[in-house]
Amino acid sequence: MAMPAGIPVIDTMIGFPHEGFAQYDFIRKQTRDKGSEEMEFPAEYMFKQVPKDLPSGDPISVTLKEMDRYNIERGLVGVSDETSRLALKKHPDRFIPSSDISDPNDITGSVRQLRRDHDEFGIKATGVFPAGTFPQVAIDAPQMYPIYQTCVDLDIPIFCTAGIPGPRLKFAVQEVSRIDTVMYDFPDLVFITRHGCEPWEKLAWKLMLKWPNLYYSTSAFAPKHYPKEIIDFANTRGADKIIYAGYFPMGLSLERIFTDMPHVPFKEEVWPKFLSGNARRVLKLDA
C-alpha cells in the first residue's frame, strides 16, 4: 500500500548543514586510496546527489524548514556540536538529544561522557560507527562492553552502524554476526542497527526474530533501495522492528527520500509503526 498521508514522522538520523566537510576528517585519517582523498564526502561514490549547497548561515532554520515540508515532527540529533545544542535548547519539541561514542578505545572517557550527556542533556540514545573508530573497535569488542552496560543502566538504546561501510574502510568490525554475541551478553540492551546491514540483511532479520530488543533503522538508504528482505520482514513478522531514519544532510536530501517513500510496498499497518510509532516506543518519547 502507498504511504498514507498525514502520519507525523520521527527521523532517527538527521542533522544540520555545515560549511565544508571537515566533519569527515575522522574517516579520512583511515582511508588510503586516492579516490577517497579526492571525494569531499568519503562515501560520495555511492551518493550521487549529496545536498552540498545548502545555506549554512542559519542551519537550524534550514533543517526545520525541510522537516516541516515533509511532516517530520521530531528529529534525533547529536549533542556534541554547538549547532545541535542550540537547536535542542531553542526547539526541544522538535529535536531529540543523542550522544555519540567517538572513541570507545577510551573506555573510561566514553562511559563518563555518556553519563554526563545523560545528566546534562537528557539524551534518549547514543550511537557508534565501529568502522570509523580509530583504531577500529568491533561491535562485540571488549571495549564496547562497559558502554553497553552503561546504556542498560541509563535505559537508553544504542544505534550502531552494521554491515559493509560506505567509506573505504575495513568492514570486519561491522559484521552483523557480531550482534548475536552482544545480544546474548546484554539481553536488556536495546540495539538498533544503522546503514543497512548489507550484505547480511537476511541474517539481520533472523537475529531480530531471535532477540526482542534488536531493531533495524533505514538510515543512509533512499527508499527505492530499501532491501527487499527488510521490507518483506516488516510486512510479515517484523512490523514492530523497522524504524525510519533518513540521512539529511549528510548524504541524502529529504526531497529524494520522500519522493521515493510512497512507492515502498509496506502494508497499511506497517506505515505508522515504521514512520514514527517504533521510534517513539524505543526512544521512550512519551515517558
For residues 120-153, one letter each, b for 16 or more C-beta atoms within 10 angstroms of the residue's C-beta and e for the rest, the string is: ebebbbbbbbbbbbeebbbbbbebbeebbebbbe
As beta bridge partners, residue 134 has: none
Predicted confidence band of residue 198 (pLDDT cuts 50, 70, 90): very high
Helices 59-69 and 82-90 cross at an angle (nearest 10°) of 60
Residue 172 reports pLDDT greater than 90: yes
Mapped onto helix, strand or coil, the DSSP state of residue 37 is helix
Residue 101 reports pLDDT greater than 70: yes
Q: What share of the chain is helix, strand, coil (3-state, %, to 5)?
A: 40, 15, 45
Mapped onto helix, strand or coil, the DSSP state of residue 15 is coil
| Predicted pLDDT at 287 | 61
| Predicted pLDDT at 224 | 96
In sequence order, which residues have a C-beta less than 8 Å from that of residue 205 and are 6 or more positions away?
216, 229, 230, 233, 238, 241
Q: Tens digit of pLDDT for each residue in 110-144?
A: 999 999 999 999 999 999 999 999 999 999 999 99
Task: State the residue for C-alpha cell 506505515.
Answer: 271
- pTM for the full predicted model: 0.95
Alpha-carbon distances, residue 101 vs 78, 141, 159, 160, 180 (angstroms): 11, 14, 10, 10, 20
Contact assessment for residue 235 and residue 205, using Cβ atoms and an 8 Å cutoff: no
Mean pLDDT of 168-175: 95
Residue 190 reports pLDDT greater than 80: yes
Q: What is the mean pLDDT of the chain?
A: 94
